[in-house]
């Protein structure tokens, strides 16, 4: 059998290179030191599988050169520099290494927490650089008996909680996408009320970066916090509103902040760097020798498995060559994933079961639709660790039941797809179809019939069907500076109505509170696609 060529585009740990070099079925090309233009023009065309890091963009030029490439392994978690959609259309599997740096990120979080509590970096500089011995300047605070609020209780957040318990801290977790038992198993408190987290002495965040979590700690949330709170972010830049963070630190509301990640990096001239109340590191979450070794080993093993066609561990996409699918299928796969993501955002609670339904010829592809639907649902809680290959396994680990049903066609539509999502907060059913081959539409939400394009920021307002409601909703939107780009209304036989309002701008908590205060309001929620 001829050897498969694996090209390493960026520097990885030697142990990963050794795995590739010692495999008799693999031809290794280590191109980490090659100029990027030469790499793309002359070396990538030779590759069957490629290993990259952040220094190599898998962009249009890369993909044009990747004539033989079947898989790209991103040695790390983030795939911001990878054109996943373009790779999918070309039949290239994109894989990453999502858990190799877990412990490194956990321990960095604890380091920032301790540094903020005891101001070690400043005491160190005062003695070593200034040669000043002033113990009285460096009175810190103890972690023992302090209340730690953890936002996001996944692989990293749960391990931070476990270590905080060893410091005898009182730990409280907030994560609407997990079952409360996951926290109680660690003897850690669990809350669904975000204000409980804002009342903690120290707050650390460990969520994916998405439309819901960007800026989730802003000026309103900081105003509710204790005076002297300590904030930690070793997850993703932008989860804290950096302007609000700066204002809170400047005013003294926030005593200290430990920041490893920024919204725009490198952040060498960021105003937070001017404050003595900020401990910063330059995105070191994965920067340990052990983490780099683990990343390299897992990336190399994944690349070898992909090259040999054995498996595609941690694949982030499903390689779909459009000429191998009927033309009408792809829009439905995209639609069912959007419906899944939408339903998870609207419910914002731990998922119990996902039922995927189809009517018409599209039902022949029900298995694929179930995979896409599950990815859509779990993306909201799992982020970039969910993919088309591991979706079923992740669902099983979380105790989520996935079922599929082919329904008789009584709808009048040639094809129709839908999801019934059951969570700890109840159930929601959403169905949709595709018009004119490409125009995706949501046509049913629970008992309401509508015609909604699944796109942008949407507010879902359920109300008693009484006069004046549409005007009240429009007025509140205007008062909050939001332009309505589309307004769709569905009515039910029980004298209730559902409005789906697409807006230009972001949904803030104050808007939801004003809508919820309307007398006719039954419920209000929002989602962004």
Give me the active site residues, please: 236, 265, 283
Question: Residues of CATH 3.30.1330.90 domain(s) within the chain?
Answer: 325-446
Which of 3.40.190.10, 3.40.50.300, 3.30.2130.30, 3.30.1330.90 is the CATH number of 325-446? 3.30.1330.90
Condensed to tens digits (0 to 9), the pLDDT of residues 109-153 reads 999 999 999 999 999 999 999 999 989 888 999 999 999 999 999
CB 445 within 8 A of CB 428: yes
pTM of the complete model: 0.77
Q: In this predicted model, what pLDDT tens digit does every residue of 258-313 receive, in sequence order?
A: 999 999 989 999 999 999 999 999 999 989 999 999 999 999 999 999 998 887 88
Domain(s) of CATH 3.40.50.720: residues in the chain: 4-98+290-307, 102-280
Residue 314 CA: distances (Å) to CA of 93, 103, 153, 274, 311: 10, 18, 20, 40, 9
Nearest to 56 by CA among 81, 76, 30, 20: 81
The structure tokens listed for 143 are 């972690």
195: buried, middle or exposed (CB in 10 Å: 19+, 13-18, 0-12)? Answer: exposed
Cβ neighbours of 278 (radius 10 Å) = 21
Kindly give the confidence (pLDDT) of every residue in the chain, 529 residues in length, as a single tens digit, with 9 standing for 90 and above: 589 999 999 999 999 999 999 999 999 999 999 999 999 999 999 999 999 998 899 999 999 999 999 999 999 887 878 998 888 878 799 999 988 889 999 999 999 999 999 999 999 999 999 999 989 888 999 999 999 999 999 889 999 999 999 999 999 999 998 889 889 999 999 999 999 999 999 999 999 888 788 999 999 999 999 999 999 999 999 999 999 999 999 999 999 999 999 999 899 999 999 999 999 999 999 899 999 999 999 999 999 999 988 878 888 886 555 456 677 888 899 899 999 999 999 998 999 999 999 999 999 989 889 988 998 999 888 876 677 777 887 898 889 999 999 988 777 889 999 999 999 989 999 999 999 878 999 999 999 999 999 998 999 999 999 999 999 999 999 999 999 999 999 998 888 999 999 999 889 889 999 999 999 999 999 998 8
> What token pair was written down for 224?
């509710």
CATH, range 454-529: 3.30.70.260
Residues paired with residue 245 on neighbouring β-strands, in sequence order? none
CATH number of the 4-98+290-307 domain: 3.40.50.720
pLDDT, one tens digit per residue, over 302-358 is 999 999 888 788 888 865 554 566 778 888 998 999 999 999 999 989 999 999 999
Q: Which fold has domain 102-280?
A: Rossmann fold (3.40.50)
Which residues contact residue 467 at a Cβ distance below 8 angstroms, ignoring those fewer than 6 apart?
none
Query: For the chain, percent helix, then strand, then coil, each to nearest 5?
Result: 35, 25, 35
Compute the distance between CA of residue 277 and CA of residue 280 in angstroms, rounded to an integer.
10
């Amino acid at each position: 059998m001829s050897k498969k060529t694996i090209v390493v585009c960026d520097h990885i740990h030697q142990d990963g290179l050794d795995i590739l070099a010692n495999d008799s079925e693999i031809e290794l090309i280590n191109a980490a030191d090659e100029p990027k233009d030469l790499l793309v023009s002359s070396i990538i065309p030779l590759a069957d599988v490629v290993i990259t890091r952040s220094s190599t963009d898998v962009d249009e030029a890369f993909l044009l050169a990747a004539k033989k490439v079947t898989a790209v392994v991103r040695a790390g978690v983030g795939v911001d520099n990878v054109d996943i959609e373009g790779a999918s259309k070309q039949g290239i599997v994109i894989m990453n290494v999502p858990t190799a740096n877990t412990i490194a990120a956990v321990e960095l979080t604890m380091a920032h927490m301790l540094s903020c509590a005891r101001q070690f970096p400043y005491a160190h500089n005062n003695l070593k650089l200034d040669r000043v011995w002033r113990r009285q300047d460096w009175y810190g605070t103890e972690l023992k008996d302090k209340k730690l609020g953890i936002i996001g209780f996944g692989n990293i957040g749960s391990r931070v909680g476990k270590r905080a318990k060893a410091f005898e801290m009182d730990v409280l977790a907030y994560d609407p996408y997990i079952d409360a038992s996951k926290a109680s198993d660690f003897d850690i408190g669990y809350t669904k009320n975000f204000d409980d987290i804002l009342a903690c002495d120290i707050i650390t965040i460990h969520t994916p970066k998405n439309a819901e979590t960007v800026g989730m700690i802003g000026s309103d949330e900081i105003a509710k916090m204790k005076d002297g709170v300590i904030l930690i972010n070793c997850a993703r830049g932008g989860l804290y509103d950096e302007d609000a963070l700066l204002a809170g630190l400047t005013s003294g509301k926030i005593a200290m902040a430990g920041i490893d990640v920024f919204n725009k990096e490198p952040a060498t001239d960021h105003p937070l760097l001017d404050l003595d109340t900020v401990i910063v590191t330059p995105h070191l979450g994965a920067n340990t020798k052990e983490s780099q070794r683990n990343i390299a080993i897992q990336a190399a093993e994944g690349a070898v498995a992909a090259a040999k066609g054995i498996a595609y561990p941690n694949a982030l996409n499903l390689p779909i060559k459009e000429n191998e699918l009927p033309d009408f299928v792809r829009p439905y796969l995209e639609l069912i994933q959007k419906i899944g993501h939408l339903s998870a955002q609207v419910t914002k609670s731990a998922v119990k079961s996902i039922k995927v339904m189809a009517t018409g010829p599209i039902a022949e592809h029900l298995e694929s639709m179930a995979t896409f639907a599950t990815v859509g649902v779990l993306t909201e809680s799992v982020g970039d660790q969910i993919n088309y290959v591991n979706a079923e396994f992740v669902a099983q680990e979380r105790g989520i039941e996935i079922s599929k049903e082919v329904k008789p066609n009584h709808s009048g539509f040639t094809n129709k797809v839908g999801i019934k999502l059951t969570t700890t907060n109840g159930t929601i059913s959403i169905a949709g179809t595709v018009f004119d081959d490409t125009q995706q539409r949501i046509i049913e939400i629970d008992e309401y019939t509508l015609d909604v394009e699944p796109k942008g920021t949407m507010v879902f307002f359920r109300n008693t069907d009484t006069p004046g409601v549409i005007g009240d909703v429009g007025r509140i939107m205007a008062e909050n500076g939001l332009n309505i780009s589309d307004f769709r209304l569905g009515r039910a036989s029980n004298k209730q109505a559902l409005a789906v309002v697409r807006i230009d701008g972001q949904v803030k908590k104050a808007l939801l509170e004003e809508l919820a205060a309307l007398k006719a309001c039954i419920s209000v929620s929002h989602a962004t696609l």
